[in-house]
Amino acid sequence: MTSSSSSSISIFVATSFLLVTLSHAAYTHSGLILTLVNNCPFTVWPAIQPNAGHPVLERGGFALPTLTHRSFQAPAQHWSGRIWARTGCTYSNNHFTCATGDCGGRLECNGAGGKPPATLAQFSLHHGHNLAFCSYGVSLVDGYNVGLTITPHEGKGVCPVVGCRADLLATCPDELKLKSPAGHVVGCKSGCEAFGTDELCCRNHYNSPQTCRASNYSEYFKHACPATFTYAHDTPSLMHDCSSPRELKVIFCH
């Protein structure tokens, strides 16, 4: 992970991406299910990173072949973290590496963050007195590597699908393109990742809602995928309440 974008992958801030708020009964062993679905025409390697103090789920990563899914129970306690797809992963000479989203050369990330660019699904699951709620959103703050949506199931009320369905690899500006050694575009960097300036990274003097502003680069992502967070102090444009979801699906290449 680069220092210019480590804050947005390693630190979850509730206001730093589009949030959709759900409320439901307190989780039990038969409660909320998280399902990861691979609709891409290639294998992806999902990675799961908890925020500090929260448990690692599913050892933090695994392979997910095309047109398959994997489901697991959400923790019964408060949990927050992020999920992303790693792409172009290979294992050679006892070394595992990915073209995008790599978490330090590990198949099972075990709590490690990913290298941008990567499309992020972010969650915060809260529990209270006989009530729990979940916030979820999709962030392009660290750039884009695959289309991704979060889809709630069996909820009541307004339960939107949020995310980015567009193929940004096909339209990524030249200065933001991440290419493989073979010359294929495998990711679309954020302005911060590409140029590393304080202004684009919302660091130092620019690290406040008053001074951190949208750039031409974040506006490219926002225009393509308006229901996503695209820079560090972006203001969520949607807020929805969804009661009692049974399942949250993260769908890659939806």
Q: What is the pLDDT along the chain (254 residues), one digit of tens a residue?
A: 444 444 444 333 333 444 444 444 433 443 788 999 999 999 999 999 999 999 999 999 999 999 999 999 988 888 899 999 999 999 988 899 999 999 999 999 999 999 999 999 998 876 554 445 678 889 999 999 999 999 988 876 667 899 999 999 999 999 999 999 999 999 999 999 999 999 999 999 999 989 999 999 999 999 999 999 999 988 765 445 566 667 889 999 98
Looking at CATH, the fold of the domain delimited by 33-252 is given as Thaumatin (2.60.110)
DSSP 44-76: BEEEEEEPTTSPPSGGGB--B-TTEEEEEEPPS
User: Are 4 and 189 within 8 A, CB to CB?
Assistant: no
What's the Cα-to-Cα distance from 50 to each of 12, 81, 113, 199, 221, rounded to whole Å?
A: 9, 4, 9, 28, 25
| pTM, two decimal places | 0.86
* Size (the chain), residues: 254
Q: Which two tokens stand for residue 28?
A: 């039990």
Rounded to the nearest 5°, which phi and psi values hold at 6? -65, -30
